[in-house]
């Protein structure tokens, strides 16, 4: 089967379009999260997404309609993590751990009670990008535009708080507001990415492109562009390779990201050796 034939399938076109948009979003946000040492927030919010999806399925809201429950719940959870960090004098990782455990517990309880929709719920654990519907592509494109506009508007504020929060405050940046914007944008992206790589693997899409870009980038803007490129390319390559090898797409996307990361580390090492020499 050649490339043109593969591209002629509607489900492949939808997967490529939605997947690339979501991966670019996650990769760009991942740079800010990694630099703010919030890498695992994606994992925590993904667990909350699992719980909220269980609620949606219990209410018989399937596919794109499940977002009606997931989006508000995960947005609230993201703010909950921030509030726990600020008010309960917890470190970020402890707050993420609490919200994450509560999210997955709700999912497990509802799955146990519901019984009948266990199979649907489990499909969210590992994702199924090839089953993305036309409505989900439209939603992904819409949210991609919203998040990108917000990132453009808050770019320098986000850069400032990632560099140093104390200095950002003394530059007049409203750090609490900007932190809330960052985690809420992450929450939106995590809900969208759930179908792409599944709850178990979302954090890889947030972390791996960012850490690969950090190995090679020679400026902050270059870092953002490199991360976005890797995220997009990994989804395109992951879909094609998984189609040809008949392996799970979500796992393939993660492995391709890992390959990019190893290559970035290798290139950085070579550059260091050349500079020393």
Nearer to other proteins by C-beta: 3 or 170? 170
Give exposure, 190-222, as e/b (b: 16+ Cβ within 10 Å): bbbbbbbbbbbbbbbbbbbbbbbbbbbbeeeee
113 binds other proteins (CB under 8 A): no
CB of 154 to other proteins, least distance (A): 7
Whole-number Cα distances in Å, 114 to 58, 65, 66, 179, 246: 7, 18, 16, 36, 32
| Distance (Å, whole) CA 47 – CA 51 | 7
268 binds other proteins (CB under 8 A): no
220 binds other proteins (CB under 8 A): yes
Q: How far, rounded to the nearest angstrom, does the alpha carbon of residue 80 sit from its chain's CA centroid?
A: 18
Residues 30-69, one symbol each (x = binds other proteins by CB under 8 A, - = not), give -----x----------------------------------
CB of 223 to other proteins, least distance (A): 4
Nearer to other proteins by C-beta: 106 or 158? 158
Residues 153-182, one symbol each (x = binds other proteins by CB under 8 A, - = not), give xx-xx-xx-xxx-xxxxxxxx---------
According to DSSP, residue 61 is labeled -
Token reading at 256: 């391709």
Q: Which residues bind other proteins (CB under 8 A)?
A: 35, 152-154, 156-157, 159-160, 162-164, 166-173, 213-214, 217-223
């Amino acid at each position: 089967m050649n490339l043109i034939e593969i591209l002629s399938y509607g489900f492949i076109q939808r997967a490529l379009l939605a997947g690339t948009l979501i991966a670019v979003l996650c990769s760009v946000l991942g740079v800010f999260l990694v630099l703010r040492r919030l890498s695992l927030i994606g994992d925590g919010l993904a667990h909350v997404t699992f719980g909220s999806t269980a609620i949606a399925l219990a209410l018989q809201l399937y596919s794109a309609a499940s977002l009606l429950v997931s989006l508000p719940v995960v947005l609230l959870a993201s703010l909950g993590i921030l509030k726990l960090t600020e008010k309960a004098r917890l470190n970020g990782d402890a707050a993420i751990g609490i919200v994450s455990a509560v999210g997955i517990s709700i999912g497990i309880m509802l799955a146990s009670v519901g019984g009948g929709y266990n199979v649907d719920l489990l499909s969210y654990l590992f994702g199924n990008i090839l089953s993305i519907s036309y409505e989900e592509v439209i939603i992904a494109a819409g949210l991609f535009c919203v998040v990108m506009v917000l990132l453009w508007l808050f770019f320098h504020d986000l850069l400032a708080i990632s560099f140093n929060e104390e200095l950002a405050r003394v530059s007049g940046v409203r750090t609490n507001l900007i932190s809330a914007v960052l985690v809420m944008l992450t929450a939106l992206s995590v809900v969208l990415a759930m179908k792409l790589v599944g709850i178990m693997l979302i954090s890889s899409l947030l972390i791996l492109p960012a850490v690969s870009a950090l190995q090679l980038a020679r400026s902050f803007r270059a870092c953002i562009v490199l991360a976005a490129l890797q995220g997009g390319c990994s989804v395109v390559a992951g879909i094609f390779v998984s189609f040809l090898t008949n392996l799970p797409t979500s796992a393939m996307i993660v492995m391709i990201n890992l390959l990019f990361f190893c290559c970035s580390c290798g290139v950085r090492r070579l550059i260091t050796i050349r500079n020393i020499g």
